[in-house]
Amino acid sequence: MKRDFLNITDLKKEEIFYTFEKAKEYKEKRKNKIPLEKIMQGKSFGLLFEKPSSRTRLSFEVGIYQLGGFPLFMSSENLQLIRGENIIDTAKIFNLYLDGLIIRTFQQKEVEIISKYVDFPVINALTDQFHPCQVMADFFTLWEIYKNFKNITLLYIGDGNNICNTLILGADILGIKMNICTPEKYKVKKEIWDMVKNKNLFNETIEPKKFIKESNIIYTDSWISMGQEKEKNKRKKVFLPYQVNKQLVKNAPKKFLFMHCLPAHRNWEVTDDILDGPNSIILKQAENRLFVQQALLYFLYK
């Protein structure tokens, strides 16, 4: 039976840790210049992207190639989808040619529909609702640093978006304490909280400074997601009090870690001195996308 990765909830806790161990192995091999086993030899993977991408595209293309597979980038603008071809018809065609599909799109429903009409694994590389590959890499990065999740508290500050949603669902699975700070009109939606089993792990607030002292990880994301550019000025006004800057973090634990999934709008959601400062682990997050996604491919095809 095929396995998909459409949301982080598609994995059990032990499967997440299994993936982390495999990602660690792949990272060590790259460090020691040991070639990877070509477990994807002869397999072709479609990368269907309806949104721009840097880290996601690069990490998947390089990762698939290193495992022996062939990555085929497909912009929706160059497919018959742009001329109105039915998504189910497109999925059936994918099923004739491909061995796997990585999708970066707007609607979660689109990913779920395609997965029903193909016989191979489908991976969600980002939708408006979830970003599971990024968050798997984020938690792997923290696991590398802390070795476990027992003594960490993560503060997410900003927009209650796809990153925030997925962090919550991942923290729920892994037992990570998490504080969420968003403006009133941009809070996490009820449908996400309805999916959470361990609600005692979470606190919500609209006050940016409320949980700073007790949070050793501070995570923020762009205030303007793809497709929200017309709201730029409105959002900047609402979110400016939620900027991660020296004033905000002065009461944070000394060794707090700063996280951001990138791309960052510098001096909007975070100031340069924090983004480039000694507490920032943004490049570790980005680097680990490669190894975690390779490990996910291994898990889905083993």
CATH number of the domain encompassing residue 73: 3.40.50.1370
pLDDT of residue 52: 86
Q: How confident is the model at residue 231 (pLDDT cuts 50, 70, 90)?
A: confident
- pLDDT tens for each residue of 136-175: 999 999 999 999 999 999 999 999 999 999 999 999 999 9
Instruction: Report the number of distinct structural domains present in the chain.
Output: 2
Q: Check if the beta carbon of residue 4 is closer than 8 Å to that of residue 115.
A: yes
Tokens, residue 92 = 């059936």
Q: Is residue 44 part of a domain?
A: yes
Owning domain of residue 141: 134-285
Question: Do both 103 and 164 map to the same domain?
Answer: no
Instruction: Map residue 33 onto helix, strand or coil.
Output: coil
Active-site residue, 261 included = yes
Q: Check if the beta carbon of residue 153 is closer than 8 Å to that of residue 216.
A: yes
Question: Do both 88 and 215 map to the same domain?
Answer: no
Q: Is residue 3 part of a domain?
A: no
pTM: 0.96
- pLDDT tens for each residue of 2-25: 999 999 999 999 999 999 999 999
Question: Do both 163 and 29 map to the same domain?
Answer: no
Alpha carbon distance 133, 151 (integer Å): 24
Instruction: Inform me whether the pLDDT recorded for 226 exceeds 70.
Output: no
- Catalytic residue, from 55, 131, 235, 260: name it: 131
Question: Do both 154 and 273 map to the same domain?
Answer: yes
- Catalytic residue, from 138, 159, 221, 243: name it: 221
Active-site residue, 3 included = no
**Angle in degrees, 0-180, between the axes of helices 162-174 and 13-31, rounded to the nearest 10:** 110
Question: Do both 76 and 175 map to the same domain?
Answer: no
Q: Is residue 2 part of a domain?
A: no
Active-site residue, 221 included = yes
Question: Do both 264 and 293 map to the same domain?
Answer: no
Question: Do both 194 and 255 map to the same domain?
Answer: yes
Question: Do both 42 and 58 map to the same domain?
Answer: yes
Active-site residue, 172 included = no
Active-site residue, 131 included = yes
Alpha carbon distance 66, 60 (integer Å): 10
Measured CA angle at 204 (ends 55, 216), to 5 deg: 60
Active-site residue, 289 included = yes
